[in-house]
Structure 1
Amino acid sequence: MCIGGVIGERQIIAEDGEQVTFHYRDSKTGDERTRTLPGEDFLWLLMQHVLPKGFRRVRDYGFLHGNARKVLLLVQKVLGVWNRIVPETIQRPTFPCRHCGHPLFVIGFRPPK
């Protein structure tokens, strides 16, 4: 199994014994950014991604495993994630209240006991 690191050697631009300069991709905007940190802070950020001895990454197993796409889609459907995935432009059927006629909206689901 090939496991990538937190940061590649190519991403480290400079290191002078005290400061480390590296570039990374901002996860929110997708833009590439450059950052300079003291060595201790850089190592602290790096170590946040290291698991303690004996721990396993959860995403390597079960429905989060890379080959479990069908199972993940089923889990998302069961948990109601589809509401966030399906665009709002899709017309959803509305059901009127039998007393006042206003449309009813599903606000939750309680599975049977």
Structure 2
Amino acid sequence: GVIREKDIVACEDGQVTFRYQDSKTKRMASRTVSGAEFLWLIFQHVLPKRFRRTRNFGFLHPNSKRLIGLIHYLLGFNPNRALAWIKERPRLLCPLCGAKMMVVATRIPPFLSPGQPTVPIPGVAAGALVM
């Protein structure tokens, strides 16, 4: 699953405290969020009906490095040369003080059919797009 039951430390007064492994430091950390935000975090990992997670199949499997090398060879693809054209993005600067800005959140509007209700994202105003 997404989170083990033993990693949910507390659930009181509409707040959920849970432990998780920080992806940068690889150390355990804890976080307290509202119940609604906790559910939002969990449901981000649930696939829609008829969808299947494919990252561990075929040449996408972590043990398929030799196969990826063979695919690169057969297609005449050089990954080192392909990365040479990538340039660093221009920095986003604050229009007031000129300091470097950092993107902390982005929101891509979901593809919805007409008349389908939207799902609110906790902490993000409706229609807001942070770039």
TM-score by length of 1: 0.59
2:79 aligned partner: 80
* 1:53 maps to 2:49: yes
1:42 aligned partner: 38
Maintained 8 Å contact 1:17/1:39: no
- Secondary structure, counterpart of 1:13 in structure 2: strand
Stretches of structure 1 that go unaligned for 5 or more consecutive residues are 85-106, 109-113
Aligned-pair Cα RMSD in Å? 2.7
Stretches of structure 2 that go unaligned for 5 or more consecutive residues are 86-131
Runs of 4+ displaced beyond 6 Å: none
- Distance across 1 between alignment mates of 2:34 and 2:53: 29
- Write 1 or 2 for the structure with the bigger share of strand: 1
User: Which of 27, 33, 52 is residue 23 of structure 2 equivalent to?
Assistant: 27
Corresponding letter in the other structure for 2:33: L
- Distance across 1 between alignment mates of 2:2 and 2:72: 28
Q: Which protein has greater RCO, CA pairs closer than 8 Å, 6+ apart?
A: 2
* 1:8 maps to 2:4: yes
Larger-gyration structure (1/2): 1
In the alignment of these two chains, the number of paired residues is 82
1:43 deviates by: 0.3
1:28 deviates by: 1.1
Identity of counterpart residues, as a percentage?
A: 47
* 1:70 maps to 2:66: yes
